[in-house]
Amino acid sequence: MISEIPKGFDKIKDRKVRDAELARIGLIAELDAVNLYEQLASLAEDETLRKVFLEIAREEKTHVG
């Protein structure tokens, strides 16, 4: 999972390249969130909690879109 901006990001001088990298990092974070919530859902024993995790995962998928 990504928890911080990668090292060396501040060395990218080209604005378009920096912005593209920011977009890529954001997408990675959203996909990580989807994976996390789906994994949590698969481990949840409580059916309501499982459904909540799956709903959050669905919402994260819309963010990626």
Query: For 24-44, what is each residue's pLDDT tens digit?
Result: 888 888 999 999 999 999 999
CA distances from 36 to 16, 18, 19, 39, 43 (A): 30, 27, 26, 5, 11
Tell whether pTM > 0.75: yes
**Cβ pair 38, 54 in contact under 8 A:** yes
Tell the residue number behind the tokens 């024993």, with chain if given.
45
Q: 2-6, 45-49, 56-60: lowest mean pLDDT where?
A: 2-6
Note the pLDDT of residue 48.
Answer: 98
Mutual angle of helices 15-43 and 47-64, in 10-degree steps: 160
Q: Which long-range contacts (CB under 8 A, 24 or more apart) does 42-46 make?
A: none
